[in-house]
Structure 1
Amino acid sequence: MTDSVLAPLLRVILIWRRQAPAIVFGALVALASLAAGIALMAAAGHYIAAAALGITLAVPVALEVTGVARVVLRYLERLTTHDATFRALAALRLWFYRGLARSAAGGLGFRRSGDVLARLVNDIEALDGVLLRLLIPLLGAAMLVPALLVAVGRDDDTAAALVLVLFAVVAFVMPWRAMLAARAAAADETEAGGALRVSVLDTLTGLREIKVYEAEGRMLAGVQWQESRLFRAERDLAARGGALQGLAFLATQAALLAVLLIHGANPVAVVVAVFVVVAAFEVVGGMPRAGVTAGRASAAASRVLQAAEAEPRVRDPARPAPMPGSNALAFEHVAFRWTPEGQAVFEDLSLDIPAGSRIAVLGPSGAGKSTLAALALKLVSPDEGQIRLGGTDIATLRSADVRRRIAWLSQTTHLFADTIRNNLLIGRDDADDDALWAALEAARIADMVRALPDGLEAWVGEQGSQFSGGQGRRLALARTLLSPAPILILDEPCSGLDLETERAFLATLNNTLEGRTVLMITHRLTGVERLDRVYRLQNGRLTPAAR
């Protein structure tokens, strides 16, 4: 149980090693601020006790110095520790995104976008408490042990032992027990939070269909159920934290009572001890609740690591073969299924695509046409058989090298909520304005872009909402044409277009793809395509088809 709680947190802390200088500096400033605060309380206790006994003292220099130091260091502590936390979380998000991209190069696959978003936002934000509310307070608690020993132990060993035991219980034992106890409840909370985000996202994205079928009540009930599940988990965690905070308060009062019952000590020493004990227990008073935070952070870390460290479907070879000179593509006796228990997509599929040729593959929805693109792009690997690029098995080539040779226009091309320029630059990030306009001209959409007030800087909108379906497909085509890849896979390139727009779009393709190898994957032909060969995909096999 202990390993399962600590291991995810330690793994995340290791990811932060590049931020170690900022984290260490922030921790040192926090400890210096804490030391100044304890020294200030001790000096204040000494001064107040002396005044109460009628001893006239000038305001000690220590009081002035520690007071100013406390204010300055406290301010610097906030700056440095929060800066270190923000840097660590930013690094963790980048690490998470890279891991997700590596393990899901073909998209999210069987992951749900709302769940991934919850891990990227909620779970990573839950880890900010690891630094600010757990690690730094633990270091401070360790530093306070000798301070308590000096303040209380010089006059009464028994009282000192009791105070130190109570302090250790509040600062170390309670947080540890809280973390272990809260781990399961925290896992329920993070799962419930992710499920709620998925439910809300599904409801918002499907709002049109919900309205048409008058399903608002059913969808709202589902969201409310997930919300109540989250509230129950949060209430459980809050109850655990509240109970421990009550015990921590009782421990603090018992420590103060032990100090007040010190016998044989001079009154000034007792007052100083009281001030130091109050300050020390105030510092660690929130540690039991921090233990609950640690349990929540452990559950969040597990979810983040699970998503980011998933094994990629296709691994690159340790010693990749050199890229071939030819751009011919061939599928040789390929068998494939998406899951071991799933239905076979291909059983013995062979397809030869010579360099510079134009090949079409026809088939109904679900026949496996898009799987051909995934296999060619090395997003998945065949269970049997080989896919060859220029005569070389792509299993022996680096995935990045293969994808530099093959451009892809998918049936659900995504336009990002950004400018036209930045959407195009995804195809080639070093393209200048001349190259961008040339691609737009080739896609027959340059005139429309020029007519926009902002031109290339025009905002595309979420999911390309500022443009019609045909305009969006042409922008996606321009992005694909901008790629220098000699092989182009068109996966249902006219999906969602009306017949007139589809014919115009295909005419554009005919005129702009000269010299490239083209594999067109579609469910039907319109008769305007320029093709060398046509195949029909049925029951996992390809057979020549007449146009």
Structure 2
Amino acid sequence: MKQFYRDLAPWLKLLLRRRQQFLVGTLLVWVTLLAGLSLLGLSGWFIVACALAGVALAAGLPSSLDVYVPGGGIRFFALLRTVARYVERLYNHNTVLTLLADLRHRVFGDLTRLDDASLKRRRASEWLSRLTSDIDNLDNLYLRLLIPPVAALLTILGVSAFIAIWLPVVGAVVAVVLTLLWAVVTFGYGWLGFANSYQQVSDQEELRRLVLDQVQASAELLSYQTQGWHRQKVEQHEALAFNNQRRLAVKAAMGNAFLSGVTGCLLIATLWIGSMALSAEQVVGPILVMAVIAVLGINEVLVLLPAAFLKLGLSYGAAQRLNALKVNQPVFDVVELPENTEGLSLQFDQVSYTYPESVAPALINLQATLPSQARAVITGVSGSGKSTLAGLVMGRIAPTQGAIRVAGISPWHISPESRADHFALLTQQTDLFDGTLEENLRIAKPSATEEELWQALSSVALSHWVQQQPKQLSTHVGEKGQQLSGGQARRVALARLMLRDPKVVLLDEPFAGVDAETARHLAMSLDQWLSGRTAIFLLHQIDDVSLLPNVDCQWHLDGGRLITDTTADS
């Protein structure tokens, strides 16, 4: 139980930071439920009272009934229930959306603090699951596991107290039975369905992964004639997930049946005890009917709880997965780089790096120095360690052995904000968002003028193409830049980088995907822009030396080792 609370505590605290909204939302739900029960009970009382008055008059007995007060009460509770339900839905849905934003902000913040090694342990689809399905499951804590049981318990106590005014014994029985029933359908059903709903978390993720593999790797599966085998694997896991889900649904159905059975027996008990009180003339008929109908309506208050608490394991599993994002980073003093520095030197001192759970190191004993405002070219085939070296320079990972220093400071110790201001990396993967060209460029510099945007596009030989588009800077690039060619998308990413003012720049294959003429234009623009900056070009090989003017050092990586260190001709 301690571990259970420890895992859920951070997320409960995050939710309860908005405790005022939680209390108001619970109050609105409670008012809605009470208005519905009051409408039901008062209507029953009014109908019986009218019937008895009519029977008395038909029998020639004197009888009177004020129809205006109960009639007004019925209209009042009907209007109150409608308005309260509308306000409750509006308010609580707004609260839920706000809580979702809080949860996503918290989780995304945890993701940004993970180093590259941790991020690469899982696929992008798994990280997306953390930001979507896991957060949605946690959201159930508020929507299904906090507000409904609290509102239900308050309603039980309120209805029991109201009945006890005329029928104390009935009120006490209703209070005891419904409170015990409330405990069973919350704590009891939370325990009953915990294992199945907890398993559902991993089932959903595994099934999502297999289906995505089936779609994304369809060409490879077809070429190796293994699509049938993989489809069978998907179907087998789907069957297991379906069986687990069916067992959970059976338990939910049993919970509803149990709830209906207990409330039915309570209804009979209320009618029996109330009938004895009626025979003893301790209560009148309309009051008895009102009490019976109120007990009958209480079933609607509890009916949602069994299914909600059967899925407690789903929320707990999501919380555990999200808690795993919190890695124990080493404690050290965070350093800020000076703002007025003109250039930053790079020094590799016997740097080695081995990825977790990997046998062979990615980099081995790198020893090199790149002076401030100098330029270097590092060549190497795929897998030689260029991306790992870039991650070390950017401070995204820390060396396993040795030390890397930027202006005498380890990048791992520099604050993320300072690294963002002083370092820039053009990766081989182009990251563009589903928006306009202007929106994608302004990510780098929100305050950039339109002239600066056009200048950046001109530097990457895109301004002429953009001017030909009907919407120009408002042209949509599509998700991941799908509306652009590969070369165009990459140049937009380069233009975005050139809007910034970093001191250290790493360019991974900056001339990939462009023709020779465009490559020369990019080389000329980069030569001007890189003046006064420390720069490293990461290339598979040098096809055209003229694209790399003013290079001071030429290095080569092979199997993680820096095997050459020569001075390149300018």
Q: Is the 8 A contact 2:423 2:505 kept in 1?
A: yes
Q: 1:283 aligned to 2:301? A: yes
Correspondence for 1:541: 561
1:297-347 C-alpha deviation (Å, 9 max, x unpaired):
22233333333x3445x7662565756834112122222212165322233
Could you say what secondary structure the match of 1:518 adopts? Answer: strand
Q: Is the 8 A contact 2:193 2:310 kept in 1?
A: yes
Could you say what secondary structure the match of 1:417 adopts? Answer: coil
- Residue of 423, 433, 438 corresponding to 1:421: 438
1:328-369 C-alpha deviation (Å, 9 max, x unpaired):
121222222121653222332122111221111222221211
Deviates more, 1:68-77 or 1:140-149: 140-149
Q: How does 1:110-509 map to 2 (within 5 A)?
A: 110-153=121-164, 159-210=170-221, 216-262=227-273, 263-265=276-278, 266=283, 267-307=285-325, 309-311=326-328, 317-318=333-334, 325=341, 326-339=343-356, 342-495=359-512, 505-506=522-523, 508-509=525-526
Correspondence for 1:36: 35
Q: 1:333 to 1:442 in 2, by over 3 A?
A: same
Q: Is the 8 A contact 2:35 2:78 kept in 1?
A: yes
1:218-241 C-alpha deviation (Å, 9 max, x unpaired):
443344334333322321221111
Q: Read off the aligned partner of 1:192 and give its amino acid letter.
A: D
Could you say what secondary structure the match of 2:307 adopts? Answer: helix
Shift of 1:271: 1.5
Q: 1:57 aligned to 2:65? A: yes
State the superposition RMSD in angstroms.
2.9
Q: Read off the aligned partner of 1:240 and give its amino acid letter.
A: K
TM-score (structure 1 length as normaliser): 0.90
Q: Which runs of 5+ in 1 are unaligned?
A: none
Q: 1:239 to 1:411 in 2, by over 3 A?
A: same
Q: Is the 8 A contact 1:37 1:70 kept in 2?
A: yes
Shift of 1:101: 1.7
Q: Is the 8 A contact 1:374 1:380 kept in 2?
A: yes
Q: Which runs of 5+ in 2 are unaligned?
A: 54-62
Could you say what secondary structure the match of 1:53 adopts? Answer: helix
Shift of 1:248: 0.7
**Structure 1: how far apart are the matches of 2:234 and 2:393?**
40
1:236-271 C-alpha deviation (Å, 9 max, x unpaired):
221111111111111011101111111233333321
Q: Is the 8 A contact 1:363 1:536 kept in 2?
A: yes
Correspondence for 1:25: 24
Q: Is the 8 A contact 1:536 1:543 kept in 2?
A: yes
Shift of 1:211: 5.4
**Structure 1: how far apart are the matches of 2:331 and 2:222?**
44
Deviates more, 1:374-383 or 1:153-162: 153-162
Deviates more, 1:373-382 or 1:394-403: 394-403
**Structure 2: how far apart are the matches of 1:56 and 1:73?**
34
Q: Is the 8 A contact 2:461 2:521 kept in 1?
A: no
Overall identity of the aligned pairs, in %: 29
Q: 1:376 to 1:544 in 2, by over 3 A?
A: same
Q: Read off the aligned partner of 1:73 and give its amino acid letter.
A: A
Correspondence for 2:532: 515
Q: 1:452 to 1:126 in 2, by over 3 A?
A: same
**Structure 2: how far apart are the matches of 1:75 and 1:536?**
68
1:405-458 C-alpha deviation (Å, 9 max, x unpaired):
121111223232322222222222221211111111111222122222221111
Could you say what secondary structure the match of 1:230 adopts? Answer: helix
**Structure 1: how far apart are the matches of 2:270 and 2:211?**
55
Q: 1:435 to 1:211 in 2, by over 3 A?
A: farther
Q: Is the 8 A contact 1:170 1:287 kept in 2?
A: no
Shift of 1:162: 4.0
1:19-65 C-alpha deviation (Å, 9 max, x unpaired):
33333222222222223233333322322332343365233243333
Q: Read off the aligned partner of 1:58 and give its amino acid letter.
A: D
**Structure 1: how far apart are the matches of 2:534 and 2:211?**
43
1:455-487 C-alpha deviation (Å, 9 max, x unpaired):
111122233223333222222221221111122
**Structure 1: how far apart are the matches of 2:117 and 2:443?**
16
Shift of 1:112: 1.5
Q: Read off the aligned partner of 2:188 and give its amino acid letter.
A: R
Q: 1:391 to 1:118 in 2, by over 3 A?
A: closer
Q: 1:20 to 1:52 in 2, by over 3 A?
A: same
**Structure 2: how far apart are the matches of 1:421 and 1:276?**
61
TM-score (structure 2 length as normaliser): 0.87
Q: 1:524 to 1:319 in 2, by over 3 A?
A: closer
Q: 1:148 to 1:453 in 2, by over 3 A?
A: closer
Q: 1:448 to 1:210 in 2, by over 3 A?
A: farther
Q: Is the 8 A contact 1:114 1:194 kept in 2?
A: no
Q: 1:384 to 1:545 in 2, by over 3 A?
A: closer
**Structure 1: how far apart are the matches of 2:156 and 2:286?**
21
Could you say what secondary structure the match of 2:119 adopts? Answer: coil
**Structure 2: how far apart are the matches of 1:9 and 1:278?**
35
Q: Read off the aligned partner of 2:333 and give its amino acid letter.
A: P
Q: 1:200 to 1:157 in 2, by over 3 A?
A: same
**Structure 2: how far apart are the matches of 1:33 and 1:302?**
34
**Structure 2: how far apart are the matches of 1:319 and 1:508?**
32
- Residue of 95, 99, 105 corresponding to 2:106: 95
Larger Rg: 2
Shift of 1:106: 7.7
**Structure 1: how far apart are the matches of 2:347 and 2:431?**
28
Q: Read off the aligned partner of 1:345 and give its amino acid letter.
A: A
Deviates more, 1:153-162 or 1:141-150: 153-162
Q: Read off the aligned partner of 2:440 and give its amino acid letter.
A: N
